Amino acid sequence: MASIFGNRLQIFTGNANRELAQRIADFVKVPIGKATVSTFPDGETFVRFDENIRGNDLFIVQPTCPPTNQNLMELLILVDAARRASAFRITAVLPFFGYARQDRKDQPRVPITAKLVANLLVAAGVNRVLAMDLHAQQIQGFFDIPVDHLFCSPIFYRHIAEKKIPNLTVVTPDIGGMKMAAAYAQMFNCGLAIVSKRRLSASETESTQIIGDVNNKNVLLVDDITETAGTLVSAVEILRKQGAKDVYVGIPHTVLTPTGIERIQKLHIKELITTNTTPQQEIKGVATTVLCVAPLLGEAILRIHAGESVSSLFEIRAGVKT
């Protein structure tokens, strides 16, 4: 498949989420490119492209999910190898962008690691970034190259709308998720509530109050990422104290630790709705739906390759029926 520039589209991947990369390739109708991505006995990463990529339009699918540093290094080395092999353009496809929560200097003598990672990607040779549900939209500004920022909201909308949940209210577990929650509330034409929280540690939070009415309501609790599920636990506890009925949890990126899995199992939520931006594991005793983002990413790749607009894909209201 040639672009407007006459360059062939190729999709490659590291080891972070090969299943998603294969689904994207199937949607785009191109084979996964042949590349060796392995590890030396001392832990160093080795990369070799096993087919010609000279002058081609490369899309490298590699979420920087746990093990974060390993997957990030694989991506950087893949990009460097592609640049040295004379690829025409290199697009880093980041379904999940690790280090995104370290996006500001919120205490003395700490780094802004999200900006550092952006600098590393550009320095390695990335020409364009395709990302999904960044923790903060301003991270796009950390890159001095084009960034296409997609949202999972159209996929979530279709799944939740089919359920026809009565008396629904959308809830965000912290002030930072207000924009996302407001967009979902507008989609479903329903109420909106905010949980005020206080962070006690990296894995513990305390919810203090709710702004909005959740009494006798079915709740859709939306956030962008969860690892230890500390925020979810405190939010669900206060929602139930305030009279909420069924609680649905919608999170694009679930990178759960063993502690997070144990906590979610004890929450007794109605359904956990997530996506395959990162590899998912079964959570026993929890009704879990994993939605596939491959068609959305695949369509974006096709449009970028053809030099077409992708704006309709990353508008957060793209899932609204008119």
pLDDT at residue 317 tops 80: no
Q: Which of 80, 281, 92, 249 is nearest to 181 (CA)?
A: 249
Across residues 250-275, what is the average pLDDT? Answer: 95
Q: Model pTM?
A: 0.91
9-152+294-314 and 153-291 have identical folds:
yes
Tell me what pLDDT residue 150 has.
Answer: 94
Say if residues 256 and 264 touch (Cβ distance below 8 Å). Answer: yes
Dump pLDDT digits (tens) for 163-202. 999 999 999 988 878 888 999 999 999 999 998 766 555 5
Residues 82-120: tens digit of each pLDDT: 999 999 999 999 999 999 989 889 889 999 999 999 999
User: Domain extents for the chain?
Assistant: 9-152+294-314, 153-291
Lowest mean pLDDT among 4-13, 61-70, 124-133, 158-167: 4-13
Residue among 115, 197, 217, 270 flagged as catalytic? 197
Selected residue with higher pLDDT from 237 and 50 = 50
Q: For the segment 3-18, what is each residue's pLDDT rounded down to a tens digit?
A: 656 689 999 999 999 9
CA torsion sign for 303, 307, 310, 312 is negative
Residue 318 binned pLDDT confidence (cut-offs 50, 70, 90): very low
- The CATH classification number of 153-291 equals 3.40.50.2020
Q: Can you tell me the mean pLDDT for 48-61?
A: 98
CATH fold group of domain 9-152+294-314: Rossmann fold (3.40.50)
Tokens 């949940």 correspond to what residue? 165
Query: Which pLDDT does position 3 carry in this prediction?
Result: 62
| 115 given a catalytic annotation | no
Which pLDDT score, from 0 to 100, does residue 204 have?
A: 58
Whether pLDDT at 319 is above 80: no
What is the model's pLDDT at position 316?
Answer: 53
Query: Residue 25: is its pLDDT beyond 90?
Result: yes
Is-contact 38 81, C-beta < 8 A? no
Q: What is the mean pLDDT of residues 274-291?
A: 95
